[in-house]
Amino acid sequence: MTGTWLKSGDATCDAPLRLFCFAHAGGGGGFFRPWRDFVLPEVEVCPVILPGRETRVAEPAHRSMEELIGPLCEGLAPFLDRPYALFGHSTGAAVAYEVARRFQDDPRRAPRRLLVSGRRAPHLAARRPPFAGLADDDFLRVVAELGGTPQEVMRQRDLMRMFLPALRADFHLNESYRPLPGPRLRCPVSGFTGDRDPEVTPLELRLWDTVSDGPFRMRVYDGDHFYLTGLPEPLRTDLLEDLRTDIRQTVS
């Protein structure tokens, strides 16, 4: 199962830094694939494919971070043979954080940077009531309100019901998540959010500075929870600024 976490051909180019990307609940690796053309040749974008979506749609999705993190880190380990950073959006930010912690104490495999987007710091309680256990129609209505799923897909009710188990699993993982036992980070942390994101305030994002002994930098952009779709130019510029710092430190 090692190779299934990345699309065939990923993590094969000679970019000096790999960027493993984790999508929001209900999202897949395809969300980040448009980023590739904007950051090569300096950074190789490697979207991570979790069970239950895309090429792994037949596999059961994990319903808790405890279930996910072991197999995920085992699957990523062969691809940590060059410097890398981790980017996660929304639920994906929590996943990226736990991956960073899992590898933190191994100097050969520790991340160069954690980049988190659209999520409050991990020790903060949720602001919305859980909805993963709602009846199907109510659950899909809330998912539609959150955005991130194209309306043309939401209107295909049979298709949505096929994806329903994986969607529920994602939101159950998100709603049940509490930081796992593990070390404090030492790498730099970058935080990003939209100024109209209903899921996180700038203050809640800023509290990510408490998870690491490394430096923290935060940027706020014009947009909602999905401000990052397509990698808009302001985000691209800031992302490359941070990652170029990590690349320079790697080669110095």
Which residues are catalytic, by number? 90
Dist. CA 164–CA 95, nearest whole Å: 21
Q: How many CA atoms lie within 13 A of 152 on its CB side?
A: 0
Question: Contact, 188 vs 217, CB < 8 A?
Answer: yes
